[in-house]
Structure 1
Amino acid sequence: MSIATSVVHHTKQPKAVWAVAFASVIAFMGIGLVDPILKPIGEQLNASPAEVSLLFTSYMLVTGVAMLITGVISSRFGAKATLQAGLVIIIVFAALAGMSDTVGQIVGFRAGWGLGNALFIATALASIVSAASGGVARAIILYEAALGIGIATGPLLGGLLGGISWRGPFFGVSVLMAVALVSVIVLLPQAPEPAQRTSIAAPFRALRHRGLLILSITALLYNFGFFTLLAYTPFPLDMGTYAIGFIFCGWGVLLAIASVFLAPRLQRRFGSLPMMGLSLSLFAADLAIMAAFAEHKSVLIVGTVLAGLFLGVNNTLITEAVMISAPVERSTASAAYSFVRFAGGACAPYLAGKLGEHAIALPFWVGAACTVAAVLVLFAGRAALTHIGDHNPTPHSVEEAAAITVGD
């Protein structure tokens, strides 16, 4: 089944899929929820942009490293228990971040939040893929739709709550995650005990497959551009929480539209690899324009919102590609991929903040350069991704996915 399957039929899914998708929407709201309050946190807690950006760095670093143990935990305790544990951890640490009095405390609690995020995200994607009807492509579009909706609404809620207090969005995440936890407990049935246990070395072994490794390095590199946009742009924009919330909401809306509607059509017509390369190239060009006109807020606003289109197309296509890039379990492939892109790219937010202290445009130039490097890596390794470059690469079943050998 191609990722181009009509989204009209995506609604015919088991309730377990909708439970995890709903929880995913709320989980992904947490990504953009803090964007509108980055500058207020810095002002009220006397912290520099680089110090505030550590909220993203600690979160990403722990998320990436913790991805290595998600398979170990879920294969021993089951997907439902792992999802619940992840949500509980986020609830606790988000609330603690809201009660913090220093940036250092928030950074530390965001690290704990990253652990819960890792347990939830890796297990959620694998759960949706396993439970959804219609194959991998349809499941991934549902997952990307949840991601897009969550990212789009997060900044809006963050702007509204952040207008009251910078603490508001943190408490908001905690409450929303509690709602997600209830939905998972009530709607997600208890899965059978896992047939086999996953080793902590499994993600490292998965990275021996060149296709998965290439996609992971590609994601690591463009994450420098992605988190420059997400973690640094609010500072040169220098606008209120409501304005930042609406700007990043627009970014999230376009990301959702591109993920669910544009990506399937473009893949059907041009293929996955060409469209991944084009979308990343356009994102790099977007960042370069933002760098060239960094003093003009209107350019930064338009550039931020338009980036949602390019990232939305790429996110859907690269997520599908990861799921079929190596003959390993999907949860293992997801963990390996996420480990490289999150742990490796953890320094990106801090680097952007530090570079911005020297020149306002420099973070955007570095983000653009790293994204160009991602395109070069993708096409340098295209021989290991030949099946992904097909117009209809997605297998119908787990067995077909496992039969694909990459890079031999």
Structure 2
Amino acid sequence: MPSSDTGVTTDARPGLLKQPVAVWAVAFAAVVSFMGIGLVDPILPAIAGQLGATKAQTLLLFTSYLGITGLAMLLTGWVSSRHGAKKTLLAGLALIVVFAALAGSSGSIGEIVGFRAGWGLGNSLFIATALATIVGAASGGMANAIILYEAALGLGIAAGPLVGGLLGEVSWRGPFFGTAVLMAVAFTAIATLLPATPRPAVRVSVSDPLRALGHRGLRTVAAMAFLYNFGFFTLLAYTPFALEISSPIRLGFVFFGWGLCLAIASVVLAPRLQRRFGTVPVVATMLALFALVLLVEAAFVDVKPVLVVGTVVAGLFLGVNNTIVTELVMEVSPVQRSTASAAYSFVRFLGGAIAAWAAGELGEAFTDWSPFVLGAFGVLVGLAVLLGGRRHLVVVHADPAPHTPAEAQAVTTGDA
């Protein structure tokens, strides 16, 4: 099969849509889980207005969610290796149901921020183990599994703002209660359709992911993702405020377009571009184009059509980048894939948590263009890190052997 400049196999294998029912059950639950990321975007202005919160306070919803998700990535392998994938998935879904419902019942911004942290804990248990389960059960190997996972991510992020916008027209509480209901449905699907999964033979230590960051290749990718997330979550978290659109459904359509582009790019564009041009050149190009979009948005922050078009188009660059980097993380480190992936996710989610907080503070202290400049700067520094460390991005796990759930544990996309 053709491969990239790092040696990563890039062809999707036959049978992408011919998957066991258990894979589709997990994929459906993943779609619902990722809806939770974009679900709150259309209601951010409404939450700020009705609860008397500042932009910075409101964006702490992302900081608490992403910060706990990142820290919990150090625990997902430990939990799953002792209790098995199915129990870990169900525990994560149950936590999301509880904390999403509590967020909808909140009476202050502080309560929502706190409950979003619990939501992040459940999300980390679910999304890390979901990819692991799909990789272990999907037909067509890891390439197809990652494409299915990234497609679920894109569809979830695309559908989330629409659902959030529709329910947000009634009340800002609606999207939170809607998530709780949908996650309860996903819990039922996993409980009934996914067979019992055995516990892995090898147990994972909490400290293993931290030690894995000693590998230069993995550290390079993680550092790049940490910086790249400054742009990703500036776009996702601050754009609703910069657009100044009061209607949740109108905001929902903007981010629906963004998520749809992300999903299409993840499934269709990423494998073709990687096969033709190689991993590092494609990722570097996507980072450069994304930084350019953010700078254009900063320069024309008062021109709302520019913000709308820039946000939607950025989904293409982010979708390509997410898929290729996910596969690279799976291959670049000599340590167990689950451990390398947990380390990577830990670092990049913390980047997103800091970025959301910083965007809110800058937007309050200066003007709406300043968060976009910060995001572009982070992405460009991430590009420099990638190019400076490209000699360390040598594939170690290049074998075509089947991949177990433990190998894929803890890889996720983000952004979201």
User: TM-score, normalised to structure 1's length?
Assistant: 0.94
Aligned residue among 275, 290, 297 for 2:297:
290
Q: Are the structure 2 counterparts of residues 102 and 50 from structure 1 closer, same or farther at C-alpha, using a change threshold of 3 Å?
A: same
* 2:384 maps to 1:376: yes
**Which residue of structure 1 aligns with residue 371 of structure 2?**
363
**Identity of matched residues, %:** 62
Contact 2:235–2:311 (Cα < 8 Å) also in 1: yes
Partner of 1:310: 317
How far apart are residue 8 of structure 1 and its match?
Answer: 6.3
Q: Deviations over 1:90-128 (max 9, x none)?
A: 000000000000000000000000100111111111111
Is 1:5 aligned to 2:11, yes or no? Answer: yes
Look up the match of 1:320.
327
User: How far is the alpha carbon of 1:4 from its aligned partner?
Assistant: 4.2
Equivalent pair of 2:136/2:403 in contact (CA under 8 Å): no
Counterpart residue number, 2:270: 263
Unaligned stretches of 5+ in structure 1?
403-408
Q: 1:165 to 1:394 in 2, by over 3 A?
A: farther
Of stretches 201-210 and 317-326 in structure 1, the one that deviates more from structure 2 is 201-210
Report the alpha carbon displacement of residue 263 of structure 1 after superposing the two structures with TM.
Answer: 0.4
> What is the deviation of 1:193?
2.6
In 1: Cα distance, 2:101 partner to 2:126 partner:
17
User: Aligned letter for 2:81?
Assistant: S
Is the Cα contact below 8 Å between 2:167 and 2:175 reproduced in 1?
yes
Cα contact 1:82–1:120 (8 A) shared by 2: yes
Of the three residues 131, 140, 145, the one matched with 1:134 is 140
Aligned residues: 398
**Partner-residue secondary structure (3-state), 2:200:** coil
* Structure 1 residues 222-243: Cα deviation after superposition (integer angstroms, max 9, x where no partner): 1010110011000010111111
Per the alignment, do residues 254 and 248 of structure 1 end up closer, same or farther by CA in structure 2, a change over 3 Å counting? same
Change in 2 beyond 3 A, CA 1:399/1:139 = closer
Provide the C-alpha distance between the structure 2 equivalents of 1:177 and 1:80, rounded to a whole number of angstroms.
15
Q: 1:331 Cα shift?
A: 2.4
Q: Which runs of 5+ in 2 are unaligned?
A: 4-8, 408-416
Match of 1:406 in 2: none
1:137-286 maps to which residues of 2 (within 5 A)?
Answer: 137-239=143-245, 240-286=247-293
* Separation of aligned partners in 2, 1:68 and 1:386: 24
Q: Which amino acid aligns with 2:215?
A: H
Contact 1:220/1:340, CA 8 A, preserved across alignment = yes
User: More displaced, 11-20 or 375-384?
Assistant: 11-20
Q: Which moved more, 1:271-280 or 1:327-336?
A: 327-336
* 1:13 positional shift: 1.9
- 8 Å contact kept, 2:13–2:143: no
